[in-house]
A and B are shown apart, each in its own frame.
Chain A
Amino acid sequence: MSARDWARRLHLPTLAALAAVLVAWTLLSRRYGAYVLPAPSSIVTGLADIVWSGDIWKHTAASLSRIVIGFGLAVVTSLLMGLGAFISPLIRVVVHDVLAILNSTSVFVWIVIALIWFGLSDWAPIFTTFMITLPVVASNLVEGVASVDRQLLEMGDVYRLSGRQKFTAIVIPSTLPYLVAGMKVGFGLALKVSVVAEIFGVTSGIGYIMNYSREILATQMVFVWALVMILIMGATDKLLFDPVARRLTRWR
């Protein structure tokens, strides 16, 4: 691999920009003090601290387990909606309208409703995650179902494939890329939304610990946990969703 390829792989321009930001950041931090803007170095030590103490795993696991439940339920519900939309045009219209309504509802509405319904428990962030990610995943899937090539289905009829054979050979492969794309966007959204819901009522999770850090004036920890979130998002995209999407479309 040539030097140029390495430069592209390492995103050198991004790194250069990052270095410039770090310098400016350090200078501003000196000027305004650690409470307003902690120095980059304190964020590195803060990250090291939570890795050594194990706090990083405790809160990340708490957040992720809530996300996995809420997001997982959203994916399962989306699959049922997609199947319904495939079977009946009537259901497709209803699903489409329901998703349009859900899509235009604010995160805050669901957080408030979740607090009323579930109180100070794990189910508040789970419910919020579910309601926010459902329309994203389901709209993608329903769009995928609608885009199944009718000509291919007719080919299946001509060769007398059974309903099940048509479903596994034609419908599933043509909708899977839509599902994975929806799940990738949905998971990112789940991470962002669930931490907001965690500010209220729970005593673990990244959202809780960020808010707690603010209260005890440990501003650098707010930045540390924000960094943790960025790392989680990047890791799931690069290690999970992107390889799966590539594998599904390797025939292209």
Chain B
Amino acid sequence: MAVKLAVIGVGKDFLIPVIDSVSFTVEVGDFVCLLGPNGCGKTTLLRILGGIEPATRGTVLLDGRPVVADQRHERQVGIVFQEDRLLPWMSLRDNVALVLKPLGLDREARHARAMHYLRLAGLQGFEAYYPGRVSGGMRQRAAIARALAIEPDMLLMDEPFGALDAQNRRIMQNEVRRIWHETGRTILFVTHSIEEAAAIGTTLIMLSARPCRVRELIQNDGSVERARLVDDLNTMIMQEVQRQQGDPR
């Protein structure tokens, strides 16, 4: 399989090193979950991969071309944030259609594509609603539809279901899994929930406590029983939390 994303020795300092040095590769069509204890730098790493923030050191290659913050490159990356970040004064359809403007599509094509991806995200019939009139889960679906609509080379998701209740979370996990199957996109999904990662990821990357390193890379191909896997990951995350607390720094 071809390599989609290569992360080579990426690090970030905010006065102290937050991310030490992280290296891994993501193959085309992978569903990678980035796991780690709270505050280990998962979000920062995702922002570097998405080209929102510059790395202090290291390189990120998307399809072999470097991702540099604040520098335009022709590769498209769709990002779903922790918050939905929809414009409250635009209907769900217009929210999705807005991000298609830079792609140079005409008005009709933008609307058609927005409708298509909203339907894919299970929002048929709600296209004309304002974000404030639908539930949190539906807003997050719209945010996913928006990220998919630009037909990105890669989809980055930063704890997109963090604000949802357990039931909606489960539903959305299944939805993302389904969308991944239907679109075949490469997805990088940040979460601090082990159950979530084990349920949806094909590759799990466990990050260490700050300063962040890759602690373990696990293929979630069903060779290890789900319950075992969750147990092992729980043990690892507890070790990391303890290490962080015991750290004299």
Binding site for B on A (CB under 8 A): 151-152, 154-155, 157-162, 165, 169-170, 173-174, 251-252
Verify if B228 is at the interface (C-beta below 8 Å from A). no
Residue of A nearest to B103 (CB): A160
Verify if B101 is at the interface (C-beta below 8 Å from A). yes
Q: How far is the CB of A239 from chain B (nearest CB, A)?
A: 24
Q: Is A159 touching B150 in the complex (CB atoms < 8 A)?
A: yes
Q: Is B101 touching A165 in the complex (CB atoms < 8 A)?
A: yes
Q: Which of B79, B89, B98 has the most CB of A within 10 A?
A: B89
Q: Is A161 touching B102 in the complex (CB atoms < 8 A)?
A: yes
Query: From DSSP, what is the main secondary structure of chain A's interface residues?
Result: helix
Residue of B nearest to A158 (CB): B79
Chain B residues contacting A165 (CB-CB under 8 Å) are 98, 101-102
- From A151, A160, A252, B72 is in contact (CB under 8 Å) with A160
Verify if B83 is at the interface (C-beta below 8 Å from A). yes
Q: How far is the CB of A249 from chain B (nearest CB, A)?
A: 8
- From A160, A161, A162, A251, B132 is in contact (CB under 8 Å) with A251
Verify if B52 is at the interface (C-beta below 8 Å from A). yes
Chain A residues contacting B88 (CB-CB under 8 Å) are 251-252
- From A152, A162, A252, B85 is in contact (CB under 8 Å) with A152
State which residues 88-109 of B face A: CB under 8 Å.
88-90, 98-99, 101-102
Taken residue by residue from 151 to 177, chain B's Cβ proximity to chain A (1 for < 8 Å, 0 otherwise) reads as 000000000000000000000000000
Q: Is A154 touching B52 in the complex (CB atoms < 8 A)?
A: yes
Complex Cα distance A251/B123, Å?
Answer: 18
Residue of B nearest to A172 (CB): B89
State which residues 58-110 of B face A: CB under 8 Å.
72, 77, 79, 81, 83, 85, 87-90, 98-99, 101-102
Q: Is B85 touching A151 in the complex (CB atoms < 8 A)?
A: yes
Known: A161-B101, A165-B98, A251-B88. 6 other contacts (CB 8 A): A151-B81, A158-B52, A159-B146, A162-B102, A169-B87, A251-B132
Complex Cα distance A169/B77, Å?
Answer: 21
Q: Is A160 touching B98 in the complex (CB atoms < 8 A)?
A: no
- From A154, A159, A251, B89 is in contact (CB under 8 Å) with A251
Chain B residues contacting A170 (CB-CB under 8 Å) are 87
Verify if B130 is at the interface (C-beta below 8 Å from A). yes
Binding site for A on B (CB under 8 A): 50, 52, 72, 77, 79, 81, 83, 85, 87-90, 98-99, 101-102, 130-132, 146, 150
Q: How far is the CB of B128 from chain A (nearest CB, A)?
A: 11
Q: Is A161 touching B72 in the complex (CB atoms < 8 A)?
A: no
- From B83, B87, B132, B146, A252 is in contact (CB under 8 Å) with B132
Complex Cα distance A165/B81, Å?
Answer: 20
Chain A residues contacting B132 (CB-CB under 8 Å) are 251-252
Q: Is A251 touching B83 in the complex (CB atoms < 8 A)?
A: no
Q: How far is the CB of B54 from chain A (nearest CB, A)?
A: 13
Complex Cα distance A157/B130, Å?
Answer: 22
Residue of B nearest to A155 (CB): B85
Residue of B nearest to A161 (CB): B102
Q: Is A159 touching B102 in the complex (CB atoms < 8 A)?
A: yes
Q: Is A159 touching B83 in the complex (CB atoms < 8 A)?
A: no
Complex Cα distance A159/B103, Å?
Answer: 10
Residue of B nearest to A159 (CB): B99
Complex Cα distance A162/B98, Å?
Answer: 11
Q: Which of A151, A160, A174 has the most CB of B within 10 A?
A: A160
Chain A residues contacting B130 (CB-CB under 8 Å) are 251
Residue of A nearest to B79 (CB): A158
Complex Cα distance A173/B94, Å?
Answer: 14
Residue of B nearest to A165 (CB): B101
Q: Is A161 touching B85 in the complex (CB atoms < 8 A)?
A: no
Q: Is A161 touching B52 in the complex (CB atoms < 8 A)?
A: no
Q: How far is the CB of A165 from chain B (nearest CB, A)?
A: 6
Q: A169-B90, A251-B132 are in contact. Are A157 and B52 (CB under 8 A)?
A: yes
Chain B residues contacting A169 (CB-CB under 8 Å) are 87, 90, 98
Complex Cα distance A158/B69, Å?
Answer: 10
Chain B residues contacting A157 (CB-CB under 8 Å) are 52
Chain B residues contacting A154 (CB-CB under 8 Å) are 52, 85
Offer 26 A-B interface pairs, CB within 8 angstroms, sorted by A. Answer: A151-B83, A152-B85, A158-B50, A158-B52, A158-B77, A158-B79, A159-B99, A159-B146, A159-B150, A161-B98, A161-B99, A161-B101, A161-B102, A162-B102, A165-B102, A169-B87, A169-B98, A173-B87, A173-B89, A174-B89, A251-B88, A251-B89, A251-B130, A251-B131, A251-B132, A252-B132
| CB-based closest 10 A-B pairs | A159-B99, A251-B130, A155-B85, A173-B89, A160-B102, A251-B89, A158-B79, A151-B85, A169-B98, A251-B88
